Structure 1
Amino acid sequence: MTPAVLALFALAGVVVGFSKTAVGGLGVAAVAIFATVLPARASTGAVLLVLIVGDLVATTTYRRDADWALVRRLLPAVLPGLVLGTLFLHIVSDEVLRRSIGVVLVVLLVLQLWLRTRRTTGPSTQPHRVASWAAGGAAGFTTMTANAAGPVMTLFLSAAQVDKRRFVGTNAWFFLVVNLVKVPFSAGLGLVSGTDVVRALALVPAVVAGGLLGRWTLGRISQARFEVLVLVASGVSAAALLV
């Protein structure tokens, strides 16, 4: 493994840690880095284990900040999304898959921007059950096919108007559960290997460093700036998938 590849993996680890403890939509950048170094399908299993490391860092950092009512609303729809994503992986090319997810994220982003122009500032709201099922299914599908559910959750939690710590804590616990459930699916597809486990363990220091940076950043930005950042990150993620 060349120094350049090692540096890219380390950068991806830092990005994972930062995205898990601050701006979730940026996690797609780490997915993209893995996909440039490894074959596209193999990269999904490899980055999954690193994401789980990031989930553990984030849930340790924000262990008391999750909105479990939101998590419970989302989880029932995730499993059907995972199953559908597993089947979808067998019938489309990587290119079609990547672009289709990008289109979905663009639609969700436009919808969220429209909702922001129509809402007034107020207390957090509980999303409608239909919206929760749609978001949970979309998260399950996109995380199984491309580890790209971060922007989906970002838009869902932004619509729920939760404060930034509860936003990150809810996101962290949701993805810890979902990513652990994904492991048997990925292993069944032959996407997880012993090398991936060793790599994930080697990247723990980079993920922790990114997590500390994310925590420091979150404590120094306002709620308004945080909301703007997560939407911008979602837009960048969608654009990266479409290019």
Structure 2
Amino acid sequence: MFTLATNLNHPVEFLPIILSILASIIVGISKAGVKGIGVFFVILLAYAYEPKISTGILLPLLIVGDLFAIIYYKKNIVWKYIFQLIPWMAIGVLFATLTGDVIDEIAFKRLMSIVIFLSVLIMLIMNDKMSNLISKHWSFGPLLGGAAGFTTMIGNAAGPLANIYFIAMKVKKKPFISSSAYIFFLINVIKLPFHIIFWKTINYYSLIESLKMIPFVFLGLIIGVYTVDKITEKYYSKLILILTAASSMFFLFS
């Protein structure tokens, strides 16, 4: 059976519960379209549970959020982005499954944080011509897709890479939200058997923990939809880039 916050060494037992609730709300807000904050729910759940265990508890919550976004924004899906990323993400998931036990998670986390931060910085300073050259290069989709698949399996932290992809491709707000939700729904479903059979991080006890958090995911979804509606198209991509950069630094020093 899972135990809460075995790594916190904190005298207040309800702290892990608060962390889990906050993480669940942030899952909902993120999946509703406020991208760039996903790292926060990954870290909060890793503190509330053992890090690897938390990935199995989190996965059903992500699938619930993805399903909501797919249904809510169903008219805005752009299939070409899905077909460009899914095969490479699936390869990344498979590679992570085979190598996950030998990966130094701390070193990997630091490397990914630096790569994401530098990628965002480059996107903020480069002009449209440079952006078009990079995003249209044949290796852009495979590299980001493979890296996203690998990171989503290791720590459910592929959101920043997906954000960089969609912003580089100049995808509008609602197609961005809808298409990324569909991609992550498919890849999260692909991840299920690996978590159940190979890593054994999803079982009866983990599902009970996940079920307790789902109402708070829906609360976050409501907050997220309201927030996204208030963000204009003009500022959406810039906001997501800033949040992505901030979360990568938080991830680095957490």
Task: Find 1:176's aligned residue among 182, 185, 192.
Answer: 185
Task: Find 2:150's aligned residue among 134, 141, 146.
Answer: 141
Separation in structure 2 between the aligned mates of residue 75 and residue 92 of structure 1, nearest angstrom: 23
Alignment of 1:44-63 (within 5 A): 44-63=55-74
| Offset of residue 141 of structure 1 | 0.8
Greater mean alpha carbon deviation, residues 75-84 or residues 145-154: 75-84
| Offset of residue 160 of structure 1 | 0.9
Q: What SS does structure 1 have at the residue aligned with 2:170? A: coil
| Offset of residue 206 of structure 1 | 0.8
- Aligned AA (2:96): G
Task: Find 2:200's aligned residue among 178, 190, 203.
Answer: 190
Greater mean alpha carbon deviation, residues 55-64 or residues 157-166: 55-64
Q: Is the 8 A contact 1:53 1:200 kept in 2?
A: no
- Aligned AA (1:72): F
Q: Does 1:154 align with 2:163?
A: yes
Q: Is the 8 A contact 2:34 2:227 kept in 1?
A: no
Separation in structure 2 between the aligned mates of residue 53 and residue 39 of structure 1, nearest angstrom: 22
Which residue in 2 is equivalent to 1:239?
A: 249
Q: Runs of 5+ in structure 2 lacking a partner?
A: 5-12, 130-134
Which ranges of 4 or more aligned residues in structure 1 deviate by more than 4 Å? none
| Offset of residue 135 of structure 1 | 1.5
| Offset of residue 97 of structure 1 | 2.3
Alignment of 1:110-125 (within 5 A): 110-114=121-125, 117-119=126-128
Q: Is the 8 A contact 2:93 2:153 kept in 1?
A: yes
Separation in structure 2 between the aligned mates of residue 58 and residue 196 of structure 1, nearest angstrom: 24
- Aligned AA (2:69): A
| Offset of residue 103 of structure 1 | 2.2
Q: Is the 8 A contact 2:92 2:150 kept in 1?
A: yes
Kindly provide the CA deviation profile for residues 52-72 of structure 1, in whole angstroms up to 9, marking residues without a partner as x: 121122112112211111110
Q: What SS does structure 2 have at the residue aligned with 1:84? A: helix
- Aligned AA (1:163): K
Q: Is the 8 A contact 2:16 2:47 kept in 1?
A: no
Separation in structure 2 between the aligned mates of residue 106 and residue 173 of structure 1, nearest angstrom: 25
Which residue in 2 is equivalent to 1:13?
A: 24
| Offset of residue 127 of structure 1 | 4.0
Greater mean alpha carbon deviation, residues 27-36 or residues 43-52: 43-52
Q: Is the 8 A contact 2:24 2:220 kept in 1?
A: yes
| Offset of residue 3 of structure 1 | 3.0
Change in 2 beyond 3 A, CA 1:127/1:18: farther
Separation in structure 2 between the aligned mates of residue 41 and residue 113 of structure 1, nearest angstrom: 33
After superposition, the CA RMSD in angstroms is: 1.9
Separation in structure 1 between the aligned mates of residue 25 and residue 69 of structure 2, nearest angstrom: 13
Which residue in 1 is equivalent to 2:113?
A: 102
Which residue in 2 is equivalent to 1:123?
A: none
Q: TM-score, normalised by structure 1?
A: 0.91
Separation in structure 2 between the aligned mates of residue 133 and residue 105 of structure 1, nearest angstrom: 16
Once the two structures are aligned, what percentage of the paired residues are identical?
Answer: 30
| Offset of residue 130 of structure 1 | 2.0
Separation in structure 2 between the aligned mates of residue 127 and residue 66 of structure 1, nearest angstrom: 20
Separation in structure 1 between the aligned mates of residue 84 and residue 137 of structure 2, nearest angstrom: 9
- Aligned AA (1:40): P
Q: Runs of 5+ in structure 1 lacking a partner?
A: 121-125
Which residue in 1 is equivalent to 2:103?
A: 92
- Aligned AA (1:153): A
- Aligned AA (1:240): F
Count residues in correspondence.
238
| Offset of residue 224 of structure 1 | 2.3
Q: TM-score, normalised by structure 2?
A: 0.87
- Aligned AA (1:239): M
Q: Is the 8 A contact 1:17 1:57 kept in 2?
A: no
